[in-house]
Chains A and B, each alone.
Chain A
Amino acid sequence: MSKETERAEDERLIGNFLGGDSLAFDQLVLKYQKKVVNLCYRLMGEYDEAVDCAQETFVKVYRSLEHFRFQSNFSTWLFRITVNTCKNRLTSLKYRFHRRMIRLDGDGRLGRDVHLGRSAENPGSIEIANGSASPSAALEKKEIKELLQRAIDSLPKTQRTAIVLRDVESLSYEEIGRILGLSLGTVKSRIARAREQLKSILRGIL
């Protein structure tokens, strides 16, 4: 589906919703829920928090859809709300206190801290990372993903958002600029710094 077609479909669904068709909103949710939940997960680092943030994002969209002026793509507007919701959650006192409590038993280093949040791959389980000095070749794919996520978590919020939107969600620089409200140059420099930092973090692990 081309971008234009996608945009036209979004506008049709929004128009239907504003016209009183509540099912149109459900269609919008179903269309974007995976992208929003994943973006939240990469930004938050915890599945439960990510799902909660994603739901909050869609509730905000539901309440403010009447103010959407079609001046940008719906997806850009949606990702902007998603990023802002996650940022607010990350800076909220309650969340920071919660994060601090679950890290009390770990030493803060990658691969050694205790993760009490349910993982995305197996939401029903509680995982404890293997603290042994296993060689990278022996690490399972799941563990590598966990480590990568921890590496993303360790980035500053501004860099984390930019690198996730670019390298995880594969958005263009221009779209990232529109979502974050930044100039193209600022987006480029943030992504470059994030990659550089991730490279040095992952060098000793992978």
Chain B
Amino acid sequence: MDGMINGKKREKVEEHLASCHSCTEELKALREVRENLEQLGEVDVPANFLDMIHARIEQESPVRRLWRRLFTPTGRRIPLELAAAVSMIVVVILLLRVLPLTRPPRREQIPIELAEVPQKSEKEIDVDDSYAPVPETDLLIKKKTEREDKIEAVGKTPESWIGPESQGYQEFDDRSEQAVQSGPSVSPEPEVSLEPRAQPESVTLFETPIQLGDKEKAGLPTIKEGESPEDIAHALALEATGRPKLRILLALPPFDKNKAKSGDRVSVKQAPSSFRESERGSTDSLLDEGSRSLVSVYERIEELVGRSSGNVVSSHLDRGITAEIPAMSYEQFLEELSRIGRFEQPELHEPLDPTDIILLSITVSP
């Protein structure tokens, strides 16, 4: 029909068609279709066909021209897959550029040795357990003795500070003295830790803003005479970081006037010096209300540091909390800290860079 078969194949087909009536009819019908299609003829082309083409070429709309220049700059259509891939890459790059601004900046890690100095030296110096481990109750007793020294320095009787619920500590006092006096591993160093801690020059709680020394105001750690070695190491750790350092003395409102008649300051010294989870569980039962309240305050501050994308460097009931706070969340941190207690906002000597990490020393004074 189309002249597509030749030779033997053609002969075979013709032979079959000569003998097969239905195939002959089929071929005839198909030829009629073809003839009819061929007779369709041609339609005329409009007279102004060429002019219309020129008009279309010249009258390309500005939008279409812009579209063509954008998407077919080389005269070829950009494949949809390629366009999608390029779009994805652009989106990923933009996300990578934007995300670091929303995330807290990566903080510089303080050398572990420095960061752990206060906690590591705690037991060694206070109770001299570098060779013989001392039970935690003894640690508590040690603090109790320190508290009594403090009370004497303030000029008040121990009884006026100790509430009825904390009388039980008296029994441990004797044991603690025995432990201190008869312990074979007691060294002269504990004397250092038993010294009353130097207080800020002028601190008035609850009523007036807290006044700090010049060095403290400048956010520099202060090292005073008579401070224990761990305090010095702690201060040196703050010095060593070379980042903005600020100090906050947080004054707490009375936590419970009925139960706190013995005063929180006693409780502070009775509380364990470190209240990590492992120790907290074993000492909670021995803490009075004031200590428990203070511990909860410290926990709140630690939680607040975490919420502010910060990092607790050290946490110590005596020396307070040292934390790293990203400058971006610093203002928010201070605002939320003011809900816990009152404090004088540290003065910044230089404007903060958003990428700074502030080393903040928070001392809680109930």
Contacts and interface: CB of A to CB of B under 8 A. Distances in A.
Contacts of B39: 145
Contacts of B57: 59, 62-63
A160 to B, nearest CB: 11
Contacts of A203: 29
B203 interface: no
Given A167-B37, A167-B38, A66 B53 contact: no
Contacts of B49: 29, 33, 37, 51, 54-55
A30 interface: yes
Contact of B33 (A56, A144, A188, A195): A195
B36 A38 contact: no
Question: Interface extent on A, as a size class?
Answer: 35 or more
Nearest to B50: A29
Contact of A55 (B29, B40, B42, B52): B52
A148 B37 contact: yes
Interface string B206-246: 00000000000000000000000000000000000000000
A55 B53 contact: yes
A34 interface: yes
Nearest to A145: B40
B46 A123 contact: yes
A199 B30 contact: yes
Interface residues of B, number: 26
A168 interface: yes
A202 B31 CA distance: 12
Contacts of A145: 39-41
A148 B36 contact: yes
User: Which of B37, B38, B44, B76 has most chain A Cβ within 10 Å?
Assistant: B37
A120 B43 CA distance: 5
B97 interface: no
A114 interface: no
A195 B34 contact: yes
B357 to A, nearest CB: 58
Contacts of A196: 30
B100 interface: no
A103 to B, nearest CB: 21
Contacts of B2: 166, 173
Nearest to B60: A59
B169 to A, nearest CB: 87
A101 to B, nearest CB: 23
B166 to A, nearest CB: 85
User: Which of B29, B40, B41, B46 has most chain A Cβ within 10 Å?
Assistant: B40
B52 A120 contact: no
A67 interface: yes
Contact of A148 (B4, B40, B53): B40
Interface in B4-60: 4, 29-30, 32-34, 36-46, 49-50, 52-53, 56-57
Given A148-B36, A173-B4, A41 B30 contact: no
B43 A47 contact: yes
B75 interface: yes
Given A37-B45, A148-B37, A149-B40, A29 B53 contact: yes
A34 B42 contact: yes
Nearest to A56: B56
A199 B29 contact: yes
Contacts of B34: 167, 195
A168 B50 contact: no
A29 to B, nearest CB: 5
Contacts of A62: 53, 57
Nearest to B56: A59
Nearest to B4: A173
A165 B44 CA distance: 18
A173 B3 CA distance: 11
A43 interface: no
A206 B75 contact: no
A64 to B, nearest CB: 5
Contacts of A170: 38
Interface of B: 2, 4, 29-30, 32-34, 36-46, 49-50, 52-53, 56-57, 75-76
Given A54-B45, A123-B46, A168-B40, 5 more contacts: A38-B42, A51-B45, A145-B39, A145-B41, A167-B37
12 contacts: A26-B50, A33-B50, A50-B43, A55-B52, A59-B56, A63-B57, A64-B75, A123-B46, A163-B37, A166-B2, A167-B37, A167-B38
